Amino acid sequence: MRSTRTRLRLTGALVALLLSAGVPAAQAVDDQPTLAELAQRHGRYFGSATDNPELTDEPYKAILGTEFDMITPGNGMKWYATEPQQGVFDFSKGDEIVNLARANHQRVRGHTLVWHSQLPGWLTSRDWTADELRAVLKKHIQTEVRHYKGKVYAWDVVNEAFNEDGTYRETIFYKTLGPGYIADALRWAHQADPKAKLYLNDYNVEGTGPKSDAYYRLVKELQAQGVPIHGFGMQAHLALQYGYPSTLEDNLRRFSRLGLDTALTEVDVRMYVPADDAELATQAQWYRDMTEACLAVRRCVGITLWDYTDRYSWIPAFFDGEGAALPWDEELRPKPAYFAIRDALQ
Ligand code: XIL
Protein backbone atom coordinates (compact mmCIF):
# COMPACT_ATOMS: atom_id res chain seq x y z
CA MET A 1 0.00 0.00 0.00
CA ARG A 2 1.18 3.49 -0.77
CA SER A 3 1.97 5.81 2.09
CA THR A 4 -0.28 8.81 2.59
CA ARG A 5 2.62 11.04 1.67
CA THR A 6 3.19 9.30 -1.63
CA ARG A 7 -0.50 9.54 -2.37
CA LEU A 8 -0.56 13.25 -1.54
CA ARG A 9 2.42 13.84 -3.77
CA LEU A 10 0.84 11.89 -6.62
CA THR A 11 -2.42 13.80 -6.21
CA GLY A 12 -0.50 17.08 -6.24
CA ALA A 13 1.30 16.09 -9.42
CA LEU A 14 -1.98 15.05 -11.01
CA VAL A 15 -3.56 18.38 -10.10
CA ALA A 16 -0.61 20.29 -11.56
CA LEU A 17 -0.84 18.23 -14.73
CA LEU A 18 -4.59 18.72 -15.10
CA LEU A 19 -4.28 22.42 -14.32
CA SER A 20 -1.65 22.88 -16.96
CA ALA A 21 -4.05 21.10 -19.35
CA GLY A 22 -6.71 23.68 -18.45
CA VAL A 23 -8.90 21.38 -16.37
CA PRO A 24 -10.55 23.31 -13.52
CA ALA A 25 -9.16 22.55 -10.11
CA ALA A 26 -12.47 21.62 -8.54
CA GLN A 27 -12.55 18.46 -10.58
CA ALA A 28 -8.81 18.09 -10.58
CA VAL A 29 -8.50 16.82 -7.02
CA ASP A 30 -9.54 13.23 -7.72
CA ASP A 31 -13.00 14.33 -8.88
CA GLN A 32 -14.15 15.13 -5.37
CA PRO A 33 -16.67 17.82 -4.45
CA THR A 34 -15.17 21.25 -3.77
CA LEU A 35 -14.77 22.71 -0.28
CA ALA A 36 -17.66 25.05 -1.08
CA GLU A 37 -19.94 22.17 -2.08
CA LEU A 38 -19.06 20.22 1.03
CA ALA A 39 -19.59 23.27 3.26
CA GLN A 40 -22.96 23.96 1.62
CA ARG A 41 -24.18 20.52 2.73
CA HIS A 42 -23.85 21.89 6.26
CA GLY A 43 -25.41 25.25 5.39
CA ARG A 44 -21.97 26.88 5.60
CA TYR A 45 -19.72 28.65 3.12
CA PHE A 46 -16.03 28.12 2.46
CA GLY A 47 -14.18 31.20 1.29
CA SER A 48 -10.85 32.71 0.36
CA ALA A 49 -9.39 36.17 0.37
CA THR A 50 -7.79 37.36 -2.83
CA ASP A 51 -5.98 40.45 -4.04
CA ASN A 52 -6.00 42.30 -7.34
CA PRO A 53 -2.38 41.69 -8.45
CA GLU A 54 -2.96 37.93 -8.27
CA LEU A 55 -5.78 37.97 -10.77
CA THR A 56 -3.47 37.70 -13.77
CA ASP A 57 -2.47 34.22 -12.58
CA GLU A 58 -4.85 31.94 -14.48
CA PRO A 59 -4.14 28.61 -12.70
CA TYR A 60 -4.57 30.48 -9.39
CA LYS A 61 -7.84 31.98 -10.60
CA ALA A 62 -9.14 28.59 -11.70
CA ILE A 63 -8.96 27.21 -8.16
CA LEU A 64 -10.20 30.48 -6.61
CA GLY A 65 -13.22 30.39 -8.90
CA THR A 66 -14.22 26.80 -8.25
CA GLU A 67 -13.18 25.64 -4.79
CA PHE A 68 -14.79 28.54 -2.85
CA ASP A 69 -18.18 30.24 -2.58
CA MET A 70 -17.19 33.33 -0.59
CA ILE A 71 -14.54 35.90 -1.51
CA THR A 72 -12.92 38.67 0.56
CA PRO A 73 -10.81 41.38 -1.07
CA GLY A 74 -7.55 41.25 0.91
CA ASN A 75 -6.82 44.95 0.37
CA GLY A 76 -9.07 46.38 -2.34
CA MET A 77 -11.84 47.66 -0.06
CA LYS A 78 -9.63 49.23 2.60
CA TRP A 79 -9.72 52.98 3.21
CA TYR A 80 -6.38 53.77 1.50
CA ALA A 81 -7.63 52.02 -1.63
CA THR A 82 -11.19 53.36 -1.71
CA GLU A 83 -10.74 57.01 -0.68
CA PRO A 84 -7.13 57.88 -1.62
CA GLN A 85 -7.92 61.60 -1.44
CA GLN A 86 -10.54 63.12 0.80
CA GLY A 87 -13.90 62.85 -0.90
CA VAL A 88 -12.43 61.16 -3.99
CA PHE A 89 -13.57 57.56 -4.10
CA ASP A 90 -12.04 54.77 -6.15
CA PHE A 91 -13.86 51.46 -6.13
CA SER A 92 -12.04 49.94 -9.09
CA LYS A 93 -10.07 47.39 -7.04
CA GLY A 94 -13.07 46.20 -5.05
CA ASP A 95 -15.24 46.19 -8.15
CA GLU A 96 -12.81 43.94 -10.00
CA ILE A 97 -13.05 41.36 -7.23
CA VAL A 98 -16.82 41.72 -6.80
CA ASN A 99 -17.30 41.25 -10.55
CA LEU A 100 -15.09 38.16 -10.58
CA ALA A 101 -16.97 36.73 -7.61
CA ARG A 102 -20.31 37.36 -9.28
CA ALA A 103 -19.14 35.70 -12.48
CA ASN A 104 -18.21 32.67 -10.37
CA HIS A 105 -21.49 32.75 -8.37
CA GLN A 106 -19.64 33.57 -5.18
CA ARG A 107 -20.70 35.91 -2.38
CA VAL A 108 -18.45 38.65 -1.00
CA ARG A 109 -17.41 39.65 2.51
CA GLY A 110 -16.50 43.35 2.56
CA HIS A 111 -13.28 44.16 4.42
CA THR A 112 -13.02 46.67 6.05
CA LEU A 113 -14.67 50.05 6.79
CA VAL A 114 -13.03 51.26 10.02
CA TRP A 115 -9.51 50.16 10.92
CA HIS A 116 -6.42 51.87 12.30
CA SER A 117 -4.17 50.40 9.61
CA GLN A 118 -3.84 51.07 5.86
CA LEU A 119 -5.45 54.49 6.19
CA PRO A 120 -4.78 57.17 3.55
CA GLY A 121 -2.16 59.82 4.34
CA TRP A 122 -4.64 62.68 4.17
CA LEU A 123 -6.50 61.14 7.11
CA THR A 124 -3.54 60.34 9.38
CA SER A 125 -1.30 63.34 8.68
CA ARG A 126 -3.39 66.01 10.39
CA ASP A 127 -5.52 66.58 13.46
CA TRP A 128 -9.28 66.50 13.30
CA THR A 129 -11.91 67.85 15.62
CA ALA A 130 -14.51 65.31 16.70
CA ASP A 131 -17.14 66.89 14.46
CA GLU A 132 -14.82 66.86 11.46
CA LEU A 133 -13.71 63.27 11.92
CA ARG A 134 -17.27 62.10 12.56
CA ALA A 135 -18.33 63.62 9.23
CA VAL A 136 -15.34 62.09 7.43
CA LEU A 137 -16.06 58.65 8.91
CA LYS A 138 -19.77 58.78 8.13
CA LYS A 139 -19.15 59.82 4.54
CA HIS A 140 -16.53 57.13 4.03
CA ILE A 141 -18.71 54.36 5.43
CA GLN A 142 -21.89 55.38 3.70
CA THR A 143 -20.32 56.04 0.29
CA GLU A 144 -18.58 52.66 0.30
CA VAL A 145 -21.49 50.64 1.67
CA ARG A 146 -23.93 52.33 -0.72
CA HIS A 147 -21.63 51.60 -3.64
CA TYR A 148 -21.66 47.89 -2.78
CA LYS A 149 -25.29 47.73 -1.68
CA GLY A 150 -26.75 44.34 -2.59
CA LYS A 151 -23.32 43.08 -3.67
CA VAL A 152 -21.68 42.54 -0.31
CA TYR A 153 -23.14 39.88 1.96
CA ALA A 154 -21.37 40.99 5.14
CA TRP A 155 -19.13 43.86 6.20
CA ASP A 156 -16.28 43.87 8.67
CA VAL A 157 -17.47 47.26 9.87
CA VAL A 158 -14.88 47.75 12.60
CA ASN A 159 -11.65 45.79 12.52
CA GLU A 160 -9.28 45.24 15.48
CA ALA A 161 -10.88 47.66 17.98
CA PHE A 162 -9.39 46.14 21.14
CA ASN A 163 -5.96 45.58 22.68
CA GLU A 164 -4.92 42.19 24.04
CA ASP A 165 -5.94 43.17 27.59
CA GLY A 166 -9.46 44.11 26.49
CA THR A 167 -8.97 47.87 26.61
CA TYR A 168 -9.90 49.93 23.58
CA ARG A 169 -7.15 50.34 21.02
CA GLU A 170 -6.11 54.00 20.94
CA THR A 171 -6.82 54.58 17.28
CA ILE A 172 -7.40 57.94 15.67
CA PHE A 173 -11.13 57.13 15.85
CA TYR A 174 -11.12 56.17 19.53
CA LYS A 175 -8.92 59.08 20.56
CA THR A 176 -10.98 61.66 18.70
CA LEU A 177 -14.50 60.25 19.00
CA GLY A 178 -14.44 57.98 22.04
CA PRO A 179 -15.81 54.40 22.09
CA GLY A 180 -19.12 55.56 20.58
CA TYR A 181 -17.51 55.51 17.13
CA ILE A 182 -18.23 51.77 16.96
CA ALA A 183 -21.99 52.15 17.46
CA ASP A 184 -22.03 55.08 15.04
CA ALA A 185 -20.16 53.11 12.39
CA LEU A 186 -22.62 50.22 12.69
CA ARG A 187 -25.65 52.53 12.48
CA TRP A 188 -24.28 54.38 9.44
CA ALA A 189 -23.46 51.14 7.64
CA HIS A 190 -26.92 49.77 8.39
CA GLN A 191 -28.58 52.91 6.97
CA ALA A 192 -26.57 52.53 3.77
CA ASP A 193 -27.40 48.83 3.25
CA PRO A 194 -30.03 47.48 5.66
CA LYS A 195 -29.61 43.92 4.33
CA ALA A 196 -25.86 43.59 4.80
CA LYS A 197 -24.71 41.63 7.84
CA LEU A 198 -22.55 43.83 10.04
CA TYR A 199 -19.56 42.34 11.85
CA LEU A 200 -16.91 43.27 14.34
CA ASN A 201 -13.70 41.43 13.49
CA ASP A 202 -10.39 40.83 15.27
CA TYR A 203 -7.40 38.51 15.80
CA ASN A 204 -6.49 36.67 19.00
CA VAL A 205 -10.16 36.36 19.86
CA GLU A 206 -10.53 32.71 18.85
CA GLY A 207 -10.25 31.53 22.43
CA THR A 208 -11.89 32.98 25.51
CA GLY A 209 -9.81 35.61 27.30
CA PRO A 210 -9.65 39.35 27.99
CA LYS A 211 -9.84 40.36 24.33
CA SER A 212 -12.80 38.20 23.33
CA ASP A 213 -14.47 39.00 26.67
CA ALA A 214 -14.28 42.68 25.70
CA TYR A 215 -16.16 41.90 22.48
CA TYR A 216 -18.69 39.82 24.36
CA ARG A 217 -19.44 42.74 26.68
CA LEU A 218 -19.48 45.26 23.84
CA VAL A 219 -21.93 43.18 21.79
CA LYS A 220 -24.30 42.96 24.76
CA GLU A 221 -24.10 46.74 25.25
CA LEU A 222 -24.70 47.40 21.57
CA GLN A 223 -27.68 45.06 21.55
CA ALA A 224 -29.11 46.73 24.67
CA GLN A 225 -28.85 50.06 22.84
CA GLY A 226 -30.54 48.68 19.72
CA VAL A 227 -27.42 49.10 17.58
CA PRO A 228 -27.39 46.87 14.47
CA ILE A 229 -24.78 44.14 15.04
CA HIS A 230 -25.14 40.79 13.32
CA GLY A 231 -21.85 38.98 13.49
CA PHE A 232 -18.52 38.46 15.17
CA GLY A 233 -15.55 37.57 13.01
CA MET A 234 -12.56 35.72 14.39
CA GLN A 235 -9.64 36.24 12.04
CA ALA A 236 -7.87 33.05 13.18
CA HIS A 237 -4.32 33.93 12.15
CA LEU A 238 -2.87 31.04 14.12
CA ALA A 239 0.79 30.11 14.62
CA LEU A 240 2.08 26.65 15.58
CA GLN A 241 4.43 28.12 18.20
CA TYR A 242 1.55 29.65 20.18
CA GLY A 243 -0.64 26.55 20.43
CA TYR A 244 -4.16 25.81 19.28
CA PRO A 245 -6.97 27.91 20.84
CA SER A 246 -8.72 25.02 22.55
CA THR A 247 -11.67 27.14 23.73
CA LEU A 248 -12.62 28.09 20.15
CA GLU A 249 -15.82 26.02 20.05
CA ASP A 250 -17.04 27.30 23.43
CA ASN A 251 -16.22 30.83 22.39
CA LEU A 252 -18.11 30.51 19.10
CA ARG A 253 -21.05 29.13 21.06
CA ARG A 254 -21.25 31.96 23.57
CA PHE A 255 -21.39 34.55 20.78
CA SER A 256 -24.04 32.46 19.00
CA ARG A 257 -26.08 32.52 22.19
CA LEU A 258 -26.14 36.31 21.95
CA GLY A 259 -27.98 35.81 18.66
CA LEU A 260 -24.97 36.61 16.52
CA ASP A 261 -23.58 34.89 13.47
CA THR A 262 -19.93 33.98 13.87
CA ALA A 263 -17.31 33.24 11.25
CA LEU A 264 -13.64 32.42 10.92
CA THR A 265 -12.70 35.25 8.61
CA GLU A 266 -8.94 35.21 7.83
CA VAL A 267 -7.70 31.74 8.60
CA ASP A 268 -4.07 30.75 8.25
CA VAL A 269 -1.72 28.61 10.35
CA ARG A 270 1.85 29.80 10.10
CA MET A 271 5.09 28.15 11.21
CA TYR A 272 8.81 28.67 10.91
CA VAL A 273 10.03 27.64 7.47
CA PRO A 274 11.14 25.37 6.00
CA ALA A 275 8.30 23.27 7.33
CA ASP A 276 8.81 19.56 7.99
CA ASP A 277 6.21 16.79 7.58
CA ALA A 278 5.38 16.73 11.29
CA GLU A 279 4.62 20.46 11.27
CA LEU A 280 2.48 20.13 8.18
CA ALA A 281 0.61 17.29 9.89
CA THR A 282 0.00 19.45 12.97
CA GLN A 283 -1.16 22.26 10.75
CA ALA A 284 -3.58 19.89 9.04
CA GLN A 285 -4.94 18.85 12.43
CA TRP A 286 -5.52 22.51 13.35
CA TYR A 287 -7.40 23.17 10.11
CA ARG A 288 -9.47 20.06 10.82
CA ASP A 289 -10.20 21.18 14.40
CA MET A 290 -11.20 24.70 13.31
CA THR A 291 -13.52 23.31 10.66
CA GLU A 292 -15.10 20.88 13.12
CA ALA A 293 -15.53 23.64 15.71
CA CYS A 294 -17.41 25.79 13.21
CA LEU A 295 -19.60 22.89 12.11
CA ALA A 296 -20.42 22.11 15.74
CA VAL A 297 -21.89 25.56 16.38
CA ARG A 298 -25.08 26.27 14.50
CA ARG A 299 -24.52 29.96 13.96
CA CYS A 300 -20.94 29.66 12.78
CA VAL A 301 -21.81 30.50 9.19
CA GLY A 302 -18.54 29.87 7.41
CA ILE A 303 -14.79 29.87 7.10
CA THR A 304 -12.57 32.10 4.97
CA LEU A 305 -8.88 31.43 4.31
CA TRP A 306 -6.61 34.49 4.11
CA ASP A 307 -5.91 33.50 0.54
CA TYR A 308 -5.66 29.81 -0.18
CA THR A 309 -2.11 29.28 -1.43
CA ASP A 310 1.33 29.91 0.04
CA ARG A 311 2.09 31.61 -3.28
CA TYR A 312 0.09 34.64 -2.14
CA SER A 313 0.14 34.48 1.64
CA TRP A 314 0.79 37.72 3.55
CA ILE A 315 2.75 35.84 6.23
CA PRO A 316 6.35 35.83 4.89
CA ALA A 317 6.26 39.61 4.43
CA PHE A 318 4.92 40.28 7.94
CA PHE A 319 6.43 37.55 10.13
CA ASP A 320 10.16 37.09 9.72
CA GLY A 321 11.09 33.49 8.96
CA GLU A 322 7.49 32.23 8.96
CA GLY A 323 5.24 30.94 6.20
CA ALA A 324 3.68 27.76 4.78
CA ALA A 325 0.42 28.90 6.40
CA LEU A 326 -2.21 27.92 3.84
CA PRO A 327 -3.77 24.64 2.60
CA TRP A 328 -2.26 24.88 -0.89
CA ASP A 329 1.50 25.20 -1.40
CA GLU A 330 3.35 27.69 -3.60
CA GLU A 331 2.92 25.39 -6.61
CA LEU A 332 -0.85 25.31 -6.01
CA ARG A 333 -0.63 21.70 -4.83
CA PRO A 334 -3.02 20.78 -2.00
CA LYS A 335 -1.22 20.14 1.30
CA PRO A 336 -2.29 17.80 4.12
CA ALA A 337 -4.32 20.73 5.52
CA TYR A 338 -6.51 20.72 2.41
CA PHE A 339 -7.35 17.03 2.83
CA ALA A 340 -7.97 17.55 6.54
CA ILE A 341 -10.51 20.30 5.83
CA ARG A 342 -12.20 18.12 3.24
CA ASP A 343 -12.33 15.24 5.69
CA ALA A 344 -13.84 17.42 8.40
CA LEU A 345 -16.52 18.62 5.98
CA GLN A 346 -17.37 15.10 4.85
C1 XIL B 1 -3.13 42.17 5.18
C2 XIL B 1 -3.02 41.89 3.69
O3 XIL B 1 -3.17 40.51 3.46
C4 XIL B 1 -1.68 42.39 3.17
O5 XIL B 1 -1.61 42.23 1.77
C6 XIL B 1 -1.49 43.84 3.56
O7 XIL B 1 -0.22 44.29 3.15
C8 XIL B 1 -1.65 44.03 5.04
O9 XIL B 1 -2.92 43.52 5.45
N10 XIL B 1 -5.65 41.39 9.56
C11 XIL B 1 -6.52 41.95 8.66
C12 XIL B 1 -6.16 42.02 7.23
O13 XIL B 1 -7.65 42.32 9.04
O14 XIL B 1 -6.69 43.16 6.61
C15 XIL B 1 -4.68 41.96 7.01
O16 XIL B 1 -4.44 41.84 5.61
C17 XIL B 1 -4.09 40.79 7.76
C18 XIL B 1 -4.32 40.94 9.24
Number of other residues whose CB lies within 10 A of the CB of residue 31: 7
Please work out whether the CB of residue 75 comes within 6 Å of at least one atom of ligand 1: yes
Q: What is the pLDDT of residues 198-211, one digit of tens each?
A: 999 999 999 999 99
Q: Are residues 42 and 15 in the same domain?
A: no
Q: Are residues 209 and 250 in the same domain?
A: yes
* Closest residue by CA, ligand 1 atom 15: 74
Please work out whether the CB of residue 266 comes within 6 Å of at least one atom of ligand 1: yes
CA nearest to 230, candidates 186, 169, 168: 186
Note down pLDDT in tens along the chain; length 346 residues: 333 333 333 344 344 444 444 444 444 456 799 999 999 999 999 999 999 999 999 999 999 999 999 999 999 999 999 999 999 999 999 999 999 999 999 999 999 999 999 999 999 999 999 999 999 999 999 999 999 999 999 999 999 999 999 999 999 999 999 999 999 999 999 999 999 999 999 999 999 999 999 999 999 999 999 999 999 999 999 999 999 999 999 999 999 999 999 999 999 999 999 999 999 999 999 999 999 999 999 999 999 999 999 999 999 999 999 999 999 999 999 999 999 999 999 9
Containing domain of residue 294, as a range?
A: 34-345
Q: pTM of this prediction?
A: 0.92
Q: Are residues 26 and 95 in the same domain?
A: no
Number of other residues whose CB lies within 10 A of the CB of residue 302: 25
168: which strand partners? 162
Site to substitute for ligand 1 among 318, 319, 322, 326, most atoms within 8 A of C-beta: 318
CA distance 269 to 288: 12
Q: Please state the domain count of the chain.
A: 2
Q: Are residues 175 and 247 in the same domain?
A: yes
- Report the separation in Å between the CA atom of 113 and the middle of ligand 1, taken as the mean of its atom positions: 13
CA nearest to 178, candidates 121, 122, 137, 225: 137
Q: Are residues 8 and 117 in the same domain?
A: no
Instruction: Please state the three-class secondary structure of 284-346 as a single string.
Output: HHHHHHHHHHHHHCCCEEEEEECCCEHHHCCHHHHCCCEECCCCECCCCCECHHHHHHHHHHC
Q: Which helix (H) or strand (E) holds 272?
A: strand 261-272
| Active site (annotated) includes residue 83 | no
Q: Are residues 64 and 7 in the same domain?
A: no
Residue of 83, 160, 249, 322 marked catalytic? 160
| Active site (annotated) includes residue 266 | yes
Q: Are residues 293 and 306 in the same domain?
A: yes
- Report the separation in Å between the CA atom of 160 and the middle of ligand 1, taken as the mean of its atom positions: 11
Q: What is the pLDDT of residues 154-171, one digit of tens each?
A: 999 999 999 999 999 999
Q: What CATH number did the domain enclosing 314 receive?
A: 3.20.20.80
